[in-house]
Amino acid sequence: MGQAFDEIWGHGGPDSPREELAGLARWMQGVPPRELRRRLQAAEATFRQLGITFAVYGDSEAAERIIPFDIVPRVFMPDEWARLSKGLVQRTQAINAFLDDIYGERRILKAGVLPPDLIFGNNQFRPEIAGIRPPHGVWAHICGIDLVRTGPDEFFVLEDNARTPSGVSYMLENREAMIRLCPELFRNFRVAAVDSYPDRLLETMRSVAPERAGAHPVCVVLTPGHFNSAYYEHSFIADSMGVELVEPADLLIDDDCVYMQTVSGRVRVDVIYRRIDDDYIDPVVFRPDSLLGVPGLIAAYRAGNVALVNAPGNGIADDKAIYSYMPEIVRFYSDSEPLLPNVETWRCREPEAFKYVLDHLDELVVKLVDGSGGYGMLVGPTASKAEIEDFRRALIAEPQRYIAQPTLALSTVPTLTDAGLSPRHVDFRPFVLTGAKDVQVVPGGLTRVALKEGSLVVNSSQGGGTKDSFVLLDDGPPAQVQSMGGMTQRQGGR
């Protein structure tokens, strides 16, 4: 792994930053580390006061904790963002087409693009919903496409998240903190606003409501409850959209229609943004022992009486073995070359690739095809010999469960540490909304940062933190610009 490209300092270090971000570099040098640390502590105190916490399942300490926040923003230039946005739209459209196809006509299998066992032998494929077409044909209403960067112009998709991508609340709260603590940055830079996300999400949800819902569909956010690690985000999103946050016990099914029980009586529900995994969402269809589900919900969905955001069955698009075929999937459905490349990937289910991976375990990152959260993976260059040998045994036992990728020199962004500002590796999760009429890329996203020196693992459950993500606007017509006075915008342009 070579020297990492720093997104502010480039390859020149603090004294020779990238020309286009010299102003931000001057700000970093001009604010004393003690003042940066004071602002950082103020942000973390606010997050704790607001209850912006998460839990790590299986953690013996089990305490709710805040995700560490860093005061130095990550910045995207206008031309970079325009290029990324086009690629994100193309990829999201391909994901939706793929899901619609494999649960319908399965043209991609008939054409021989994918091996059928990769679909039918995958535990994320849900045969129970084959033949169902969601309202308006949209499956992945909210996509989080994780990106990594390795150089000035080199961006790669690391993975796709089409089930229940999380992190929006951190994107919005990080921006609130930056506006309050670093207002000078919003005077010096034209930063695209992100606070329209709840309105955009609600607009997306309403657009995919069943046609009988009329002009004012009833939308809700379905949470498993306050014991869930992402409960803060569930309540934050519902509150931001001005819709009800409901638990499974609040919903009932009658004659294949969904109703919310309120103090005023039943209210029919048209769109559910569900934050419960497929396995638990309906005990009649999936796990009969689930206490989190709504019995009969899939029957109502099959009857076309409710839209589920995101659709059940989307997990197949998150699978990392499917990810390895995404370039072919994009070509098949768009008849064009992918604008965002994948990271090179070896499928361990294939004998030649498997042999290569076994011979190079100390050089590669190896992941479970259905893994998430940084669990079930090996980072070869930083693993001990014992860890590599343990992983080798697991890999030999079930090679079809793993993929491998080269260890990339992920880009870094200066981050406040005990020793001052130091580069730390980052990735990026932008959010893409697909409604009945259009696909929107939110001009920002969640930057995750590996706070341990040299670490490539950015997941919060593994000790990672977050940064605000600035998308700079060009000097064209006025657009949605973040105001330093609060979460206000100047409207116009595009």
* The predicted structure's pLDDT at residue 479: 53
Residue 264 vs residue 431, higher pLDDT: 431
Digit-coded pLDDT (tens) for 354-377: 999 999 999 999 999 877 656 678
Residue 389 has pLDDT above 80, yes or no: yes
Digit-coded pLDDT (tens) for 50-68: 877 655 545 444 456 678 8
The helix, strand and coil proportions of the chain, stated in percent and rounded to the nearest 5, come to 35, 25, 40
**Structural tokens at position 23:** 């102003």
- Judge contact between 377 and 391, C-beta under 8 A: no
Digit-coded pLDDT (tens) for 288-331: 999 899 999 999 999 999 999 999 999 999 999 999 999 999 99
For residue 214, what pLDDT band results from cuts at 50, 70 and 90?
Answer: confident
Q: How many alpha carbons lie under 13 Å from residue 141 in its C-beta half-sphere?
A: 30
- Judge contact between 316 and 370, C-beta under 8 A: no
**Mean of the per-residue pLDDT values for the chain?**
90
* The predicted structure's pLDDT at residue 57: 45
Instruction: Name the pTM for this structure.
Output: 0.91
- Judge contact between 235 and 223, C-beta under 8 A: yes
Determine the length of the chain.
Answer: 494
Crossing angle of helices 168-181 and 231-241, in 10° steps, is 70
Report d(CA 420, CA 341) in Å as an integer: 35
Nearest residue to 291 via CA among 225, 230, 239, 335? 225
Question: At CB < 8 A and 24+ separation, what contacts does 250-256 make?
Answer: 251/222, 251/294, 251/297, 252/294, 253/294, 253/295, 253/296, 253/297, 253/299, 253/300, 256/296, 256/299, 256/300, 256/302, 256/303, 256/305
Q: What whole-number percentage of the chain has pLDDT above 70?
A: 91
Digit-coded pLDDT (tens) for 233-248: 999 999 999 999 999 9
Digit-coded pLDDT (tens) for 309-319: 999 999 999 99
For residue 227, what pLDDT band results from cuts at 50, 70 and 90?
Answer: confident
DSSP string of 339-398, one letter each residue: SSPBPP-EETTSHHHHHHHHHTTTTEEEEETT--TT-SEEEGGGS-HHHHHHHHHHHHH-
